[in-house]
A and B are shown apart, each in its own frame.
Chain A
Amino acid sequence: MLYGLMAYFDSAERLLEALRVLKGRGYRHLEALAPNPVEGIEEVLGGDGRIPWIAFGLGVLGVGLGLFLQIYTTLDYPHNAGGKPLLGWPAFIPVTFELTILTITVGIFLFLLYINGLPLAAHPAVRAKEYVRVLLDEYGVFVYATDPRFDLESTKALLRELGAEVEEVRRD
């Protein structure tokens, strides 16, 4: 069974150019693969502005959890410590701060895994024989065979035209 085509480009600029052309020709079901973050990829594939907002929301949740924990436990077991006020808020700052950070950290890490679809047991692109190249110094485009515009010969020709080495990725 054919999974799709893996195209290897030797520079980030070529990758971006190829993605623009593919998008322009109406290809939708494709993935760009790179050994490190590619500048300008948002303009082609669209950015993701959710992360800061999710982090902010988690921060608010963390502040709430921290304050709730301390206020609730203090009221549940009132204890006069050194004549400090029962709900002495300055003393609550460190724990609230730590719980805020803890909530954001754990939450945003799990969110990152969730939006990236990780953990992932298997991915068709990894079956490409030369796949390791896109983890080293090359840039890849994986065009899924399920793409409505996909046609083995014409897609392959288009990718070659864009300057790529093309490999067919199949299940053995």
Chain B
Amino acid sequence: MAHKEPHPDRDLIQGEWTERTLVEKLLEPVEKPPPRPWKVVVAVGAALTLVWLYAIFVTFVKGLGTWGINQPVAWGLDIVHFVWWIGIGHAGTLISAILVLMRQNWRDSLNRVTEAMTFFAILAAATFPLIHMGRPQHFYWVMPYPTHMALWPQYKSPLSWDVLAIMTYITISTLFLYLGLIPDLALLRERSRGWRRKFYGWLSLGWTGNAVHWQRYRAVYVLLAGLATPVVISVHSVVSMDFAYGLVPGWHLTVFPPFFAAGAIYSGFAMALTLIIPLRKWYRLEGVITDRHLDWMAKVTLASGLGVAYIYLLEIFIAWYAGEPAEWAQQVWRMTGPYAPYYWAMMLINVVLLQTLWFPRFRKNLTWLFVFSILANVGMWLERFVIVVISLSHDFLPGNFQLYYPTWVDWTLFLGTIGFFLFGLSLFIRIFPPIAVAEMVHLFHRLRKH
């Protein structure tokens, strides 16, 4: 065979590997006993999940009066968290889908864990609108079904778009995650015995690695990636329209869809960094999740964060330039009112501290990257707080102005979803390989042999 230049992505897999040792390494999280931090995370996650279930129980039994929501702040922390979690989910689909289309090889070692992150983040998000209904047993009222009252959902309302967008998103992310898992499940099936063999056997659907199947599989995988890409953008745009369709000052902006999409990518990549940095350390995956991967993720975080920062400044400009008194009063209230610390903390993180990522010295400093990724998620949480709570607490009528005080139930619901997210993810990486084995082996093959 003719000699070829070394592949430009050669350093994406570092160290001396053969296909077999690479597979052994990548299957370690599933096949070897877990490291101690895993047990701690599972224990904390399980405890918080139980507390979460208790808070949901309290909500259902006693009603929404246990939450801090009031008039006019009828959307409280629950909607803040809904938007926050949905946003976090987006980076997973982005890494797996958009980067497939762009033929970015560095996605191969990240996509599985971020897709799993997406899956649990959407589940966490979806619980909030469900319990916010107060009568969750009637959740199916948002579906189009022939009722005895001859009523249908109102399809001109963004709230019914939301239902379909989120459900489509859950479906496509789950199928995409599952489709990617099938070859790895077949491998695990062949490497295990007893009930595990049955478990992986059922899930792998009898995948044999037939070369013709592979061609079709690849075609469908790329097709699903192409479909998931617009869905990611559409989902958060639809979520933003839940707000932008309202007349509330601070919400009624046409810039909301790109604003929310940029924020979603930003917080999603930040959460991916928060998860991947410890994962890589605990499982000693430095050879496959290299510094270059983290550097790229930091760059995407910076790019999307700059989009967010730009729109913060644009919001101020629009409020001033539009000359709408209520809009401008809302801006001033954000900056000087009782919620000003939240607003300025958001500005500090998402506008000022973000700028550190321009510098390779900060991007390559894993401690700072880890701290910043957590801060960025706090910043994006604050942004949703600014949009939801601060906007609602100061609408048109001064007689209406009222502050919002979250209760212990609100906070427990939030901490509970974080626990559920960590618990689900840690179980996931114990049962399914957190790095896509077949794809990594394929990448290895392309990098080393061609």
Contacts and interface: CB of A to CB of B under 8 A. Distances in A.
B212 A105 contact: no
Contact of A31 (B144, B157, B158, B210): B210
B252 to A, nearest CB: 13
B211 interface: yes
A134 to B, nearest CB: 6
Given A69-B144, A76-B150, A106-B171, 5 more contacts: A31-B211, A37-B215, A52-B219, A81-B154, A118-B205
Interface stretch (B222-230, B263-271, B308-316, B368-376): B222-230
A123 B208 contact: yes
A73 B207 contact: no
Contacts of A112: 179, 216-217, 220
Interface residues of A, number: 64
Contacts of A106: 171, 175
B94 interface: no
Nearest to A41: B211
A135 B20 contact: no
Contacts of A11: 449
B213 interface: yes
A99 B19 CA distance: 41
Interface of A: 11, 13, 15, 31-38, 41-42, 45-48, 51-52, 55, 69-70, 73-74, 76-77, 79, 81-82, 84, 88, 91-92, 94-95, 97-99, 101-102, 104-106, 108-109, 112-113, 115-116, 118-123, 125-126, 131-132, 134-137, 140
B415 interface: no
A88 B155 CA distance: 10
A95 B214 contact: no
Which applies to chain B's interface (DSSP): helix, strand, loop or mixed? helix
A78 to B, nearest CB: 10
A13 B450 CA distance: 12
A52 to B, nearest CB: 7
Nearest to B169: A98
Contact of A48 (B152, B160, B208, B219): B219
A94 B234 contact: yes
A121 B175 contact: no
Contact of A109 (B164, B175, B211, B442): B175
A136 B206 contact: no
B441 interface: yes
